[in-house]
Structure 1
Amino acid sequence: MNLAVVLVSPKTPGNIGSAARAMLNMGARDLRLVAPRCDHLDSQSVAMAVHAEDLLRSARVYPTLRDALADRDLSVGTSARVRADLPPGRHPATLRPLVRAAAAPALVFGPEETGLINSDLEQCQVTVRIPTGDYASLNLAQAVLLVCYEFLQGGDEVTAAERKTATREDMEAMYGHLRETMQLIGYTDAVRARHTLRLWRAMLDRALMSPAESRLFRGFLRQVKWKVDSAARAGDPADAEQP
């Protein structure tokens, strides 16, 4: 499986090296780092990676999470907390068929001290929560090991369905277009737009759109803008009237 592991703003070299080792243990080889706060090739990181040094050295560094997910067709965020306005985290085993059916899935982990923030989780179609005892805080490498095991080694193999899903870059561009359109027609305003868009994201991400479907949706949004602009140019209040 072409599973990418994305570490957002990791703080310590040792955690990056340990995460690389955990990935190699479970058969994942695509490590991506978003705005790391340390040198991922520091001697401590290399030492903790052990036999995963090549995996560590081939890691790609990105300025933003959006850049890191641009070529992925499914992104799975990780969180131990319940977030307002965001779907609750699911048990890893329940997401296994979805991940294995994807052509290019990504597994996203947040900074060691805070985890992923809401704006990061908004870019993930689903969230996974590792079931634990009362003390839910896991070391970064432990979390990488457990979830990679569930997706790559755990349970029976699921035959991947032949499908092509829109990349996250396709979807993020579509969501930016949707936000502009919602504000254009007065469906929401700048204050409420983020909350409203979260609800739309949750619904549309569940659809697992194909590239053609995302283009179809954006064609509809372009037609809405054309209609509004045409009504404004014609000065016809009836055409521009809001429902």
Structure 2
Amino acid sequence: MPLDKLLVVLFRPKYAENVGSVARAMLNMGAAQLVLVDPQGYEMDRALPLATVHARHILEGARIVSTLAEALAGTSLVVGTTARTGGWRKGLLTPAKAAPEVLTRLHEGGSVAIVFGPEDRGLTNEETSLCDQLAMIPASPQCTSLNLSQAVLILLYECYQLALTRPFEPKGPPTERDASFEERQALFASMQEALTAIDFLKDQNAEYWMLPVRRFFSRFRLRRNEFNLLMGICRQVRGVAARAQRAAINDLPGSIDFSEK
């Protein structure tokens, strides 16, 4: 199936019945990998009637993890969903615009996650910061929020329909793999340290001001060799900043030079 390696990630879902409906929607569109992150009071017995007997295997095979980072481990692309706009939530994709990138990564053998937030509030800025792209389903201004399973169905429908018109053609392995989710997060942490060291970012609320940097890098595919290059640059920047700080301290009146002679 074209969507075999697509992960549907539900972050802190509140109602087991919605999880069951999501499983049914996944079965309709050929997706089978469900991940629940810290579900609230989840009981499979409440989810099963909505999943129906046909999607029971999706619920039984669902992974339950405690953190979003754990759910996204090993993925090459993360698409978050949101009903809110403005602030740092810019460059939002429609489901139809997100589907081609999802299918491209899947056809290349990568693992893709589509993340859906809690029914009452959706994903926060902290959670969307872990996503490479954000998708929004256009809806009437009178009611922009959708039922969780409806949102899942719409995203998966676009991916499935595109898969029908873009059949999978096996290709040789890429010359260089994509940087994994863990590697991208390590790079962002290293960049934050480097940018803070040169006072581009301030210590206070540095993670918030890193959001546009993260969004910039999400606009293109980061390969493993590029990850290594950027990590090396970050190390050099931190080293230069540390030496400059030591030199400034040594230049202070009455300071002692502890450098090697």
What is the TM-score of this pair, normalised by structure 1? 0.90
Matched, 1:123 2:130: yes
Aligned partner of 2:96 in structure 1 is 93
1:62 equivalent in alignment to 2:65:
yes
Distance 1:77 1:99, change over 3 A: same
Which residue in the other structure is 2:165 paired with? Answer: 156
Which residue in 2 is equivalent to 1:167?
180
Superposition deviation, residue 158 in structure 1: 6.7
Aligned-residue CA RMSD in angstroms?
Answer: 2.0
Whether the aligned pair in 1 keeps the contact of 2:193 and 2:238 (CA below 8 Å) is no
Q: Of the candidates 10, 13, 27, which is equivalent to residue 10 of structure 1?
A: 13
In the TM superposition, what is the alpha-carbon distance from 1:198 to its structure 2 partner?
0.8
Q: Distance in 1 between matches of 2:50 and 2:102?
A: 28
- Aligned partners of 1:176, 1:40: CA distance in 2, in Å? 36
**Unaligned regions of 5+ residues in structure 1, if any?**
238-243
Residue aligning to 1:241: none
Cα deviation per residue 1:125-180 (whole Å; 9 max; x = unaligned)? 11111122232221111111111011122473276786432111111111111111
Identity of aligned residues (%): 35
User: What is the SS of the residue equivalent to 1:33?
Assistant: strand
Show CA shifts across 1:197-234 (max 9, x none): 11111111112101221121011111112223334455
Residue pair 2:17, 2:50 contacting (<8 A) in 1 also = yes
Mapping of residues 1-243 of structure 1, within 5 Å: 1=3, 2-41=5-44, 43-50=45-52, 51-102=54-105, 103-134=110-141, 135-154=143-162, 156-157=165-166, 163=174, 164-233=177-246
Q: Which has the larger radius of gyration?
A: 2
Letter in structure 1 aligned against 2:48: V
Tell me the number of residue pairs that the alignment of Structure 1 and Structure 2 aligns: 236
Separation in 2, partners of 1:210, 1:40: 40
The amino acid across from 1:111 in the alignment is: P
> What's the CA shift for 1:69?
0.9
Cα distance in 2 for residues equivalent to 1:58 and 1:221:
40
